[in-house]
Amino acid sequence: MTESAPVDPTSTEGWKKLGGIADGFTPDLRGWFDSDPGRAERYTFQAADLTVDLSKGLVDDEILGALLQVAEDTGVAERFQAMLAGEHINATEDRAVLHTALRRPKGIEPALVVDGQDVDADVHATLDKVYAFASKVRDGSWTGVTGKRIETVVNIGIGGSDLGPVMVYEALKPYVQEGLEARFVSNIDPADIYEKTADLDPETTLFIVASKTFGTLETLTNARLARQWLWERLGLTDASDDEKSDAVAKHFVAVSTALDKVAAFGIDPENAFGFWDWVGGRYSVDSAIGTSVVIAIGKENWEEFLAGFHAIDEHVRTTPLEQNVPVLMGLLNVWYSNFLGAQSHAVLPYTQYLHRFAAYLQQLTMESNGKRVRWDGSPVTTETGEVFWGEPGTNGQHAFYQLIHQGTRLIPADFITVAKPARPLKDESGDGKAVQPGQDVHALFLANFFAQTKALAFGKTADEVRAEGTTDEAIVAARTFTGNKPSTSILAPELTPSVLGQLIALYEHIVFTEGTIWGIDSFDQWGVELGKQLALQIAPAVDGDQDALASQDSSTKALIAKYLELRGA
Ligand code: F6P
């Protein structure tokens, strides 16, 4: 371990100041906006193409000042530089953390050399290999074993080897080449692979087995099922080993850091794309793990995507903390969770194409910052992590916004949208009342975006309810909104590949800021190991092995016995 002991944030002056402010804190967004006409402008920041309005947050200059002091005292900027330079800040695994290297442009000077290795050269060599392969699939020169061009790419992976590619593919659907489709199999529930392959033509299907370790139970099981499906559907079940391997060679490629295991599975190492142990799974969407997306959207769009990440990396590297958007957003999250008692954080994209964004962020944020010890093994000194969740607006409005508006819990929310819709439509007839003929539907959609953040911030007083004619005080109470519910608005020009890269990098660095303040290693994930080990131990019992069943605790034993009974085993 090369890292020095983390600074205890609770011992810093800024933290103490925040504790004092939080004591008896009574936010008043109405009053703050009334008395401060410059508030919206002062608290709106730019990071590359992202305009980020923090003014509807529960902050004032004093709070922000104290938060910035915490960032200074816990060394956020210094640790970011250490990460960029390839220091082993992933202390528990003794690894560099270099996802930012994945998007460094070709030829940038000086080259990044870490642990004696030219990282830039390695990254671009792999990218070139992925581009060359993707272009063959896209132009039809890569064919299946029967000579037909590939129409469907099925990515098999889980966690970081799935959530990123799916989210990006869904977000960039308008950029996908016609005639190509990507699908994603992740769950070991056999229903997943069954449903995703049921209607596919094996002759035009390419599987990408994406697994950093190439040892993940779910992914390898699904990969074997896919291979079995291919052989069956091509009529090769009883064919010779050579014929079977020819089919695998044309219909399977892999992405992994463990190229020896890829070869053992029967995939030609020539058709395997590598990456490195310094890329965490949940930080790997912009590595070769994105091969399915590169095939779908092509090299130019992928380069734009990477440039978007890099623009935010540069923003973080070069912008003072007080203007540094991911740092400010991370600090606000610390304020809400450590001082105001927030336990969860909603992410509400007002663009349907980002419908998997919250799911993606769940791994990024919670696998990174759900930790109870710090990077030196000592216990954390304050609450860590936030429960991230969300759904696209306006669907969420008709589901869970009630609780955000009028519930008793504080739920900070990030509202994300774009100005230019990929699919603009007009409602030519309208309803003649709320919706006029010729109404631009995206404008109507965004009216909801603006309305929600306004309602959350300013609420509706009892007097305003009464002024509308409600006289029954019980109804007045039910119709009153307290306001002072914090939100951040993020507005981008359009959901281009670059903007998507910017959004992902924004959240990566928010996570980094919070993790550094809490003193935790945001890049390991030991908390997922126990369940994995137990699943392997329990598997024989679930398969009917009586000794294995007998050795379980009484609850688990009874549940497995019930399962076996229901299954008719
Ligand atoms: O479940 C934990 C995890 O290790 C994630 O961090 C990772 O993204 C996922 O499993 C998949 O791992 P791999 O890419 O090695 O198959």
Q: What is the pLDDT of residues 126-156, one digit of tens each?
A: 999 999 999 999 999 999 999 999 999 999 9
Each residue's pLDDT tens digit, 303-316? 999 999 999 999 99
Task: Give the mean model confidence (pLDDT) for residues 121-127.
Answer: 97
Residue 360, ligand 1, Cβ within 6 A: no
How much of the chain exceeds pLDDT 90, in percent? 97
**Where are the extended beta strands (E) located within 27-169?**
44-47, 50-53, 113-114, 117-118, 152-156
**Which residue owns the Cα nearest ligand 1 atom 3?**
159
**Where are the extended beta strands (E) located within 157-259?**
181-185, 205-210, 252-256
Confidence band (pLDDT; 50, 70, 90) for 106?
very high
Residue 164, ligand 1, Cβ within 6 A: no
Residue 165, ligand 1, Cβ within 6 A: no
User: Separation of 222 CA from ligand 1 center, angstroms?
Assistant: 14
> Cβ contacts of residue 474 below 8 Å, gap of 6+?
none
User: Separation of 75 CA from ligand 1 center, angstroms?
Assistant: 29
User: Separation of 224 CA from ligand 1 center, angstroms?
Assistant: 18
Task: Give the mean model confidence (pLDDT) for residues 318-326.
Answer: 98
Active-site residue numbers? 367, 398, 532
User: Above 50 in pLDDT, residue 94?
Assistant: yes
- The span from the CA of 136 to the CA of 155, in Å, is 17
Confidence band (pLDDT; 50, 70, 90) for 509?
very high
pLDDT of residue 4: 81
User: Above 90 in pLDDT, residue 206?
Assistant: yes
Strand order in the sheet with 44-47: 44-47, 50-53, 487-494, 413-420, 344-350, 387-389
From 166, 216, 221, the mutation candidate for ligand 1 (largest count of ligand atoms within 8 A of CB) is 216
Each residue's pLDDT tens digit, 414-441? 999 999 999 999 999 999 999 999 999 9
In Å, the largest CA–CA distance within the chain is: 83
User: Above 80 in pLDDT, residue 3?
Assistant: no
User: Separation of 525 CA from ligand 1 center, angstroms?
Assistant: 9
Residue 528, ligand 1, Cβ within 6 A: yes
**Which residue owns the Cα nearest ligand 1 atom 8?**
160
pLDDT of residue 465: 98
From 92, 161, 184, 369, the mutation candidate for ligand 1 (largest count of ligand atoms within 8 A of CB) is 161
Residue 158, ligand 1, Cβ within 6 A: yes
pLDDT of residue 569: 76
Task: Give the mean model confidence (pLDDT) for residues 221-235.
Answer: 98
Coil, helix or strand at residue 46: strand
Helix axes 217-233, 190-197, angle to 10 degrees: 40
Residue 362, ligand 1, Cβ within 6 A: no
Residue 522, ligand 1, Cβ within 6 A: no
Task: Count the alpha carbons within 13 Å of 519 in the hemisphere toward its beta carbon.
Answer: 24
User: Above 70 in pLDDT, residue 2?
Assistant: no
Task: Give the mean model confidence (pLDDT) for residues 112-137.
Answer: 96
User: Separation of 314 CA from ligand 1 center, angstroms?
Assistant: 28
pLDDT of residue 1: 43
In Å, how far are 91, 201, 267, 364 from 524, measured between CA atoms?
8, 39, 29, 11
User: Separation of 212 CA from ligand 1 center, angstroms?
Assistant: 7
Residue 281, ligand 1, Cβ within 6 A: yes
Each residue's pLDDT tens digit, 338-347? 999 999 999 9
Mean pLDDT of the chain: 97
For the CA of 289, the closest atom of ligand 1 is 14
pTM of the full predicted structure?
0.97
The answer to whether 354 and 171 have CB atoms below 8 angstroms apart is yes
The answer to whether 91 and 376 have CB atoms below 8 angstroms apart is yes
Residue 441 tokens, joined: 């539907």
